[in-house]
A = this chain, B = another copy of it.
Amino acid sequence: MQAMQKVALPEKFAAFHDHWSPRIVGELNGQHVKLVKFQGDFVWHHHDHEDELFLVVQGAFRMDYLDDAGAPRHLDLNTGEFVIVPRGVEHRPSAAEEVQVLLFEPAGTLNTGNLRTTQTVDQPQSL
């Protein structure tokens, strides 16, 4: 095995400043733990094969999504709250102010899901 090390979230979040660009900070069971900062609006998208967890480490953001009937809904998430977006669900995170978010999702999950945009990050860096 690789050496076991602990990961301190505050230290990792202090190490990058851009928005919408997830950094990989852990891998287990084929899943990645990523950290990302949101500010502003992301693009509407979905993931065909991956469920995604968003945990707010510090701050707040809004998750817009479409329900089964295609109707617009949203959740407001604050520090210490998470949501799981199931595969196939159209969604869009947005944040009025910068927010620190932890993601759990399968390794290889593309941040923009089914879309390719200027916000797409093909090869997230490890941090």
Interface residues of A (CB under 8 A from B): 1-10, 26-29, 31, 33, 50-53, 57, 63, 65, 67-68, 73, 75, 77, 80-86, 88-89, 104-106
Listed by A's residue number, 18 A-B pairs whose Cβ atoms lie within 8 Å are: A1-B86, A4-B73, A4-B86, A5-B75, A6-B82, A6-B83, A8-B80, A9-B80, A10-B80, A26-B53, A26-B84, A27-B84, A28-B51, A28-B53, A28-B105, A29-B51, A33-B104, A104-B104
Given A5-B75, A26-B82; 15 other pairs, CB 8 A cutoff: A1-B89, A4-B63, A4-B65, A4-B86, A4-B89, A6-B75, A7-B81, A7-B82, A9-B81, A28-B51, A29-B31, A29-B51, A29-B106, A33-B82, A33-B104
